[in-house]
Structure 1
Amino acid sequence: MYETVITPRVSETDMVGHINNTTLPVWFEAARNPIFSLFTPDHDAQKWKMVIVKTTLEFTKQIYFGTDVTIRIWVNHIGNSSLELVEELYQNEELCAKNKVVYVNFDLATQKSERIPDGIRNELRAHLHNENK
């Protein structure tokens, strides 16, 4: 499991007093940085490999300014060129949102997907969701 703590900012709070729904995709993406580093260690945009093809976000509780959130990410499935992640967001130890996201390992120059290298596969397997081990 990958884990990231994020401190909500005032600017992410909407007019009804909770974190705006448009903020969570940005937070989930920020928590994926360790995974992005596996595919593109120097984060060079010209060599970027991870292309998102699907995301499904579900809110289970409201999230508020003033208390950190914890995002936990597991690898749910590793395909030939794709991977699915399961993500959960907690505030005060309560599940507030969950997400599934699918990425493809993609070569920008050729505009084609590529097989996920074995070294990256091995690292990802260490973070498999318990149901898939």
Structure 2
Amino acid sequence: MARYTYHCALRWSDMDAFGHVNNARFLTLYEEARVAMMFTGAESGGLSSFREGVVIARHEIDYLRPVDYGDPVRIDLWVSEIRNSSFVVDYELFDDDKLASRARSVLVPYDLTAGRSRRVSEAERAFLEEWSD
């Protein structure tokens, strides 16, 4: 299985009152990794259509252990499903090489001008398949 790996620095603002990464901030960390893959990674291969519109239809997160402030965390992500008008990205977040969280997002390509969802293009499908299991 091909996985995209992203190393994400933790910010002091990610912490909660207990000194751990706040549960809601995990979404931000996962977003950073996803944007790196779908924008930076895709654009380096000549694909820029994701930047034109993709929305989140669903998030699921499992918190397995607390993450403390310190070294960057590693996020591995991959595409587990590609449909005609949506796709699923799965993530694993590692702190000191220990699995701390798993997540899943359902994404929908979106036409921002028309204000509606659109189909996954052939070029997008080809890129997503590079990262699929």
Normalised TM-score (structure 1)? 0.86
- Secondary structure, counterpart of 2:78 in structure 1: strand
For the Cα contact (< 8 Å) 2:20–2:67, is it kept in 1? Answer: yes
**Distance in 1, Cα, partners of 2:11 & 2:81:** 33
Q: How many residues align?
A: 126
For the Cα contact (< 8 Å) 1:36–1:50, is it kept in 2? Answer: no
Q: Any gaps of 5 or more consecutive residues in structure 2?
A: none
RMSD over aligned CA atoms reads 1.9
* Deviation for aligned residue 1:31: 0.5
* Deviation for aligned residue 1:43: 7.8
For the Cα contact (< 8 Å) 2:38–2:50, is it kept in 1? Answer: no
From 55, 66, 82, the equivalent of 1:51 is: 55
Residue aligning to 1:123: 127
Q: How does 1:88-127 map to 2 (within 5 A)?
A: 88-127=92-131
**Distance in 2, Cα, partners of 1:95 & 1:24:** 13
- One-letter identity of the residue aligned with 2:38: I
Off by >2 Å, runs of 4+ in structure 1: 36-44
**Distance in 2, Cα, partners of 1:111 & 1:94:** 41
From 50, 68, 72, the equivalent of 1:68 is: 72
Residue aligning to 2:13: 11
Q: Any gaps of 5 or more consecutive residues in structure 1?
A: none
Residue aligning to 2:38: 35
